[in-house]
Structure 1
Amino acid sequence: MSIKKVSKPSLSNSQVTEITARLFGLTVSSIHPLPSYDDQNFHVVCVDAGDFVLKVMNATDSENMKLMEMQTHSMNFLHQNGLPAQTALRTVTGEMMSLEEIECGYGLQKYLVRLLTYLPGTPMAKITCTPQLLYETGKTAAMLDKILLRMEHESLSALQRENFIWSLSCVPLIDDYLSVMDGDPMQLIIREVIDQYRNQVVPKLPSFHKCINHGDLNDHNILVERKGSSAYKISGILDFGDMSSGYFIFELAIVIMYMMIESRNPLEVGGPVIAGFESVFPLNSDERDALYTLVLSRFSQSLVYARSAVLQQPENEEYLMITAKNGLRHLQLLWEKGKKEVEKVWFEGAANISKLNANSNSLP
């Protein structure tokens, strides 16, 4: 995701039908638009071939072919290693993607087009998450980062995204956009979060464990399916557009933040997510100490950048502000509770859940 002004594609159904036929040799029988931040996604059903997602990247990101190659390769690599990620279908000429010159109302521009497998399931945002599912989400996030550590590719350096606003390495960049919060009392809290990040997180970065982050494991990018009468299992991991080089602790902070959004007991989310994450990748003391500030930082990024994006895409306000609706309230809750009290809830909860899981191999 990016909040700078980009040319978001706006293909018509007839353009989608033509591109799918020409690039992939498939005949479209139905088309359903899917929500997106600054790209354009379509659920396409093809005659005798089934369901796919046609993903059309925005014009700015389409210029970075190496980054798009890495995202596509990462999805395939995760799928090969047992995680439910989408995979890209090759074009009729054997390519994983195609750079197409398309008229979308801005004059002819170039957009990268991919056809991805369609994963079954319901977004986590639409169900009530149990501690067990939160545990599995933390576990899956750590497994994803661990698997990507083994990945090799000639364009791996493309993931070192300098000044990428959605990376938790770049929290101070929020300053450049903070004027969108003028008049909002939360602006003062966000300023203090940025200072806390500079003073308490930056000095610890050398002791964090490096990895490649998915970077956007929110409750709309994780799909679930029923497992039995009441339980759910993770059936899909979507949207690798925010991938970047980072640290394991960044992924955990991002997951906790997003799992809080729709929760009726947001403070209680951290325990099971941490327990699941640490069942795969235990944290060191500096990583644990930075977690609270990193979660606050992700809330701050999301709130400020969403507010800025709405100024550029007012027609997309409902989707852009999905996180912000509850985000302001949750950021204020964490800030008012304070680091000591929040950490107590999170880490004691994680210890209790890990003990319960070890004894009974199941959580409620």
Structure 2
Amino acid sequence: MDTDYQIPVNEVQRILINDFDIFPKSIHQQYGFLCQNFIVAAGKDAMAAACHEKFIIKFVRNDDRSICANGREYVVQLLTFLEGVVLVEAILTKHDMETLASKIGRFVGRVHASLLSLQYDVSNLIGGNDYHAENALCFRNKLRYVKDEELKKLMEKYLDSFEINFIPRLQSLRRVFAHCDISNGNLIVNKRNEWEIVGLIDFEDSYHGYVVGDLGICIAYLLLQAAGTPEFDLTDISTRAIKEYSHVLPLDTDEKAVLYDVVVSRVVVSYVTACEKVYFDPENEEFWRRQSLHAPIILKKFIQLGRKDLEQAWFQQI
């Protein structure tokens, strides 16, 4: 959600009717971080609703190709609705989280294995997005938004480690068409007998990135989610995901050497981003801290567990 531009429901309705020939029965705003999403139930008279009854209409700020709404410019995407909820909204038990950790690791491994075999040259899709895994150091100058001085020093230490360990290995890391944000805000889950992963959304920031970068981002957000469940065990949750991933797509030596740095740096980035958003938009603090609420707990647990012991748990018997 970008609070600088709020699209009113009547404007969403106008665009649905005029541009997509959909006459909505209801429109409800959904979770979105840097975009605005609305779930739309189509009326029976909608021609486009012949095959689908529900849609997601997504508004993303863009200065190039766009539709004008509310005096601003947007790229508008109309997506078919997938039954389920984003992972961040799921109410999970300890068992649920353990099961999902394994399933998420396996799912991401399959995604990467498929994308590595993609018969298409994506090397020109070079991203300049600060949120790409290799750009974590861009957030050093935003640490000023973190009020807790002890936590700030800890974050500086993690970013220093990232610079020392990750950056020099960039040339040796495998590249892939990377999603860039396989997070609890973009994984769609649905509960049948057990929670299942039914979809992955928001590919607009995808680029020619790094296998281990994409995986590390996923693990970071998995831990941020799991930290809110009872009896949270950082080692167990992260190990489940990494081992299942590695059964599908084994990590090489350099990737194993930097995965820790990618995970902790993304936890830092998530928390610093929330602090910056809250600084400029304090009225929506609960929303902005939603994904990174447990980041301080996780960062301190990493220190308590120790890098060497944690990496040993991740990679033994793989």
Both proteins in one fold, TM over 0.5: yes
CA contact (8 A) 1:57 1:112 kept: yes
Q: 1:152 to 1:265 in 2, by over 3 A?
A: same
Offset, 1:19:
0.4
Partner of 1:83: none
1:250 aligns with 2:218: no
CA distance in 2, matches of 1:158, 1:64: 19
Letter in 1 for 2:155: I
Partner of 1:234: 197
2:67 to 58, 82, 100: 100
Residue segments in structure 1 that go unaligned for 5+ positions in a row: 66-98, 355-364
Corresponding residue SS for 1:11: coil
| Cα offsets for 1:274-322 (capped at 9, x unmatched) | 1221122111111111111111111111111111122233343222211
Which range moves more in the overlay, 172-181 or 49-58?
Answer: 172-181
2:126 to 143, 150, 160: 160
Q: 1:9 to 1:152 in 2, by over 3 A?
A: farther
Letter in 2 for 1:296: V
Alignment RMSD: 2.2
| Cα offsets for 1:213-255 (capped at 9, x unmatched) | 212222232122234x3x3321121222442321111121111
Q: For 1:98-177, what aligned pairs fall within 5 Å after superposition?
A: 99-103=66-70, 108-125=71-88, 126=90, 127-128=92-93, 129-149=96-116, 150=118, 152=120, 156=122, 159-162=125-128, 164-177=129-142
1:311 to 274, 279, 290: 279
Which range moves more in the overlay, 188-197 or 121-130?
Answer: 121-130
1:300 aligns with 2:268: yes
1:196 to 161, 170, 195: 161
CA distance in 2, matches of 1:43, 1:151: 34
CA contact (8 A) 1:141 1:277 kept: yes
1:329 aligns with 2:292: no
CA contact (8 A) 1:39 1:56 kept: yes
CA contact (8 A) 2:133 2:214 kept: no
| Cα offsets for 1:11-67 (capped at 9, x unmatched) | 212111110011111110001111211211100111132100010112xxx1255xx
Letter in 2 for 1:146: A
2:224 to 257, 261, 273: 261
Letter in 1 for 2:106: K
1:15 to 8, 11, 25: 11
Partner of 1:207: 172
Offset, 1:158:
6.7
Q: 1:172 to 1:130 in 2, by over 3 A?
A: closer
Letter in 1 for 2:126: Q
Corresponding residue SS for 1:160: coil
Residue segments in structure 2 that go unaligned for 5+ positions in a row: 227-231
TM-score normalized by the length of structure 2: 0.87
CA distance in 1, matches of 2:288, 2:34: 10
CA distance in 1, matches of 2:277, 2:35: 13
| Cα offsets for 1:143-185 (capped at 9, x unmatched) | 22333341647xx5674112x2111111211112121125521
Letter in 2 for 1:234: I
CA distance in 2, matches of 1:112, 1:217: 21
Partner of 1:362: none
CA distance in 1, matches of 2:308, 2:187: 30
Corresponding residue SS for 1:185: helix
Offset, 1:208:
1.2
Letter in 2 for 1:63: D
CA distance in 2, matches of 1:332, 1:219: 21
Partner of 2:60: 57
Partner of 1:94: none
TM-score normalized by the length of structure 1: 0.77
Percent identity at matched positions? 25
The alignment of Structure 1 onto Structure 2 pairs a total of residues equal to 301
Letter in 2 for 1:168: A
